[in-house]
Amino acid sequence: MSAPTRQEASAGPRVSPRARDAKRFIVGIAAIAALGGALFGYDTGVISGALPFMEDHFGLTSLGEGVITSALLIGAAFGSLIGGRMSDALGRRNSLLWAGAVFIGGALAVALSPGVPVMTAARFVLGLAVGSASVITPLYLSEIAPPHIRGRLVSFNSLMIVSGQLLAYLINAVLARWEAWRWMLGLAALPAVALFAGLFFLPDTPRWYISKGRRDEAARVLGRTLPAEDVPAELARIDQARKVEAGARCGAWQQLRTPWVRRLLLIGIGLAAVQQITGVNAVVYFAPKILASTGLGTGAAITATIAVGAVSVLATAIGMSLIDRVGRRPLLLTGLAGMTVALALLGASFRLPHSAAVSALVLGLMVLYMAFMQATLNTGVWLLLAEMFPLTVRGLAMGAAVFVMWVVNFAVALVFPVLLDAIGAGATFWFFGAMCVLSLVFCKRYAPETKGLALEDLEHELRKAAGADADADADTGASAVAGVAAAHPTD
């Protein structure tokens, strides 16, 4: 046998044309669908730079700042409920098309608003699109991705969210010199047009097609993401899950009354609340205001906020690379511990006299906090919410959990500027640190592990864990759901 040539030896294993086509298809889906995440990030992040100029233009008080900021968030809360139900009825893709259209109209309406009432109403409407996209995008990606890359693909949506926020911070810094806050807000219409146009080229998910009895279309989509020999088995797995659910003979609302489904919903709602009560969006929305309280000027504070966005993108990319290897629970617990330390130090730093060094210290601790948050909690919670609910109620249950997430987000955004004025930044950040400790206890006890399992297999494991729960003491049984983590430590 002759030795391989140098060219042959360095070529490595060949990738089949089918595998290359599947990879291109998945990358294309991720790039287009995750524009919804980028719009989510841009529309939530851009207010941080626009708000100081809107404050002067409209004569806003601290409460007025909170109202305008939070109007989008209460709209997003209702949008998440609409998005969950709509995605079950119309499909994941068609629902994203609706959200894209509202993104375009909402962004233009916000930018052209003549006064506070119109601005508040326009941001509420824009929030409907933000909330819908926050539910539908991870749902779409989780259902169309092969199991071995599902974590990374769904987490790509989280990367796009923080990338959208970074883009907002960069545009804010450029336009701040002209105080062009209307342009800051209106530029969100451009990626919204790209999302709307791109969605016409995407299919819906196999699981939604099967839920509507469209098996041939489901097979065609699976054939573009899996080897041909794996398609029949995947169809059978999804079909079997559907038959089990159909045998229950009850609708989605009735399914939520099933004890094991209700327990998962409560855990999902708890995880959604954890993501917000730990303070992340206080930093996202009000970073320039926080930095200005240490003595920085408005322009310098807006520019310094770019560091928060840049580290958020880098940290999310790191979290994406770890989540399918390390698992969801370890990332959540590690992140919450790191966030607690960062917030404790951040609160203490506001007790120091104002100076350039203190401003740099506050910025550094905010960056450290965001690094822990984005690499772990933000990535992990969005992925768990997209994975942990059974197919029959997935859209509804995820919509309910994300509704709670946006309601808590709304409360934080409304109250934070008032708290800053009332008790000071130090005590406010210590409060968020205490919430991190409580959240760590909750996640350690209840957060499930979903790494490495197909969605239908995961549903079986969670159902089994909750079934064992029902036979145990009701006060301690919920911890069995978290036991899935121990049952599959290396999946």
- CA R_g for the chain: 23
pLDDT at residue 5 in the model = 47
Tens of pLDDT, residues 232-285: 988 888 887 766 655 544 566 777 777 888 888 999 999 999 999 999 989 999
Nearest C-alpha neighbor of 161 from the set 309, 43, 314, 41 = 41
Q: Provide the residue type at 271 as one letter.
A: L
Q: How many CB atoms sit inside 10 A of residue 7's CB?
A: 7
DSSP 258-300: SHHHHHHHHHHHHHHHHHHHT-HHHHHHHHHHHHHTTT--HHH
* Cα–Cα distance for residue pair 302/286, rounded to 1 Å: 10
Quote the longest CA-to-CA distance of the chain. Answer: 84
pLDDT at residue 486 in the model = 37
N-term to C-term CA, the chain:
40
pLDDT at residue 276 in the model = 93
Nearest C-alpha neighbor of 208 from the set 132, 272, 141, 148 = 141
* Cα–Cα distance for residue pair 131/84, rounded to 1 Å: 10
- The region, left, alpha or beta by phi > 0 then psi within -120 to 50, assigned to residue 279 is left
Query: Are the beta carbons of 461 and 453 closer than 8 angstroms?
Result: yes
Give 476: exposed, middle or buried? Use CB within 10 Å, 0-12, 13-18, 19+: exposed
Q: How many CB atoms sit inside 10 A of residue 259's CB?
A: 13
Structural domains of the chain, ranges and CATH numbers in brackets: 17-202 (1.20.1250.20), 252-463 (1.20.1250.20)
pLDDT in tens, the chain (491 residues): 444 444 444 444 455 666 777 778 888 888 887 788 899 899 989 999 999 999 889 998 888 999 999 999 999 888 888 887 898 889 999 999 999 999 999 999 999 999 999 999 999 999 999 989 888 888 888 888 777 777 777 778 878 888 999 999 999 999 999 999 999 999 999 999 999 999 999 999 998 898 888 989 999 999 888 888 888 988 888 887 766 655 544 566 777 777 888 888 999 999 999 999 999 989 999 999 899 888 888 899 999 999 999 999 999 999 988 888 888 899 999 999 999 999 999 999 999 998 899 999 999 999 999 999 999 998 899 888 888 887 777 777 888 898 899 899 999 999 999 998 899 999 999 999 999 999 999 999 988 887 766 666 666 766 776 654 544 433 333 333 334 333 333 33
* Cα–Cα distance for residue pair 402/135, rounded to 1 Å: 7
* Cα–Cα distance for residue pair 397/232, rounded to 1 Å: 28
Query: Are the beta carbons of 467 and 477 closer than 8 angstroms?
Result: no
H or E element in which residue 156 lies: helix 150-175
pLDDT at residue 468 in the model = 47
Structure pTM?
0.79
Nearest C-alpha neighbor of 411 from the set 282, 265, 271 = 282
Q: Which two tokens stand for residue 231?
A: 């398609």
pLDDT at residue 185 in the model = 96
Q: Provide the residue type at 364 as one letter.
A: G
Question: Up-side HSE of residue 485: CA atoms within 13 Å toward CB?
Answer: 20
Q: Provide the residue type at 124 as one letter.
A: F
